[in-house]
Structure 1
């Protein structure tokens, strides 16, 4: 993936941070120090580090729902992973009023998804210089 083709996703449930794991959308990678390297196959959305940074294939139109589908986890208006209750979301610090699955993942976007008590919502994320480059398509 080219530098800059990443979005950042933060998840909170029941007042706690939920880690977005490395290895979503990655097949046949080797894990070294918590980071996936050398994948045989990847999808249009993938994670290689447990930081919430989601790598995006350039030109692909992907959503938060696509990431959750590849991850094999539940997301909807009333469910986040195994947690039930109203799900609220923010994009770039602004409240998202629609279905959280429909949130577009775009380069340099910051997405926060919450169920349960209110949490501080970050409007931006400090992406690493040069982007995430552990895997080659």
Structure 2
């Protein structure tokens, strides 16, 4: 079972939920910190492509708004390889500005924001959060649309080449956009050279 490749990535996934409620409460009571609107996400070099800056309008019918309390909440994971080298999914996919970053972390971990689409990322761990008031069918294509990047059998974001798709340890022959994102779905996209499926171990609180 593969763990995130560095302790930094593991803590990014685990630390988000702990910091989220406290900072969200602080933001609700006191307003966002003055620097929040100018607090950019600085992507680490392995990030494949930065997250699109979104205006909160629905995308693929998915709305943005406050974090959904209760309701439907599942986590899936996306791993990306380009010619055998792993690239990371950025923090802030499906998140509208201004944002609040965890000030104790050198890497970007989003703890509060103006709004969250029902499909989003808080950090660079590859964990995709799907949160909606009621059960909802989400797809990988919708996630890439929120990311602002293409996804086909010949392109994953800015990376071009033949794409091999793995879902839960099995090779997937269909359109990668149609992959369903359900509880603990593990997706691996290999552009160019194929890489054997690398299982991901979700944090215990996910």
- Do both proteins adopt the same fold according to a TM-score greater than 0.5, normalized to the shorter chain? yes
- Extract unaligned runs of 5+ from structure 2: 1-67
Give the secondary-structure state (helix, strand or coil) at the position aligned to 1:51.
coil
Runs of 4+ in 1 over 3 A off after TM superposition: 1-4
* 2:198 is aligned with 1:128: no
Mapped contact 1:4–1:108 kept (Cα < 8 A) = no
Q: Which has the higher contact order (CA 8 A, sep 6+)?
A: 1
- Name which of structure 1's ranges 54-63 and 99-108 shifts more when overlaid on structure 2: 54-63
Matches within 5 A, 1:104-123: 104-122=180-198
Alignment partners' CA distance in 1, 2:181 and 2:191: 20
* Equivalent of 1:20 in 78, 85, 89: 89
Matches within 5 A, 1:1-137: 5-28=74-97, 29-32=99-102, 33=105, 34-58=108-132, 59-122=135-198, 124-131=199-206
Per the normalisation by structure 2, the TM-score is: 0.59
RMSD: 1.7
Per the normalisation by structure 1, the TM-score is: 0.87
Give the secondary-structure state (helix, strand or coil) at the position aligned to 1:95.
strand
Q: 1:40 deviation in Å?
A: 2.1
Give the secondary-structure state (helix, strand or coil) at the position aligned to 1:5.
strand
Alignment partners' CA distance in 2, 1:125 and 1:15: 17
Rg larger for: 2
Alignment partners' CA distance in 2, 1:83 and 1:127: 26
Mapped contact 1:44–1:60 kept (Cα < 8 A) = no
Greater percentage in helix: 2
Mapped contact 1:4–1:130 kept (Cα < 8 A) = no
Count of residue pairs the alignment pairs up: 130
Mapped contact 1:9–1:110 kept (Cα < 8 A) = yes
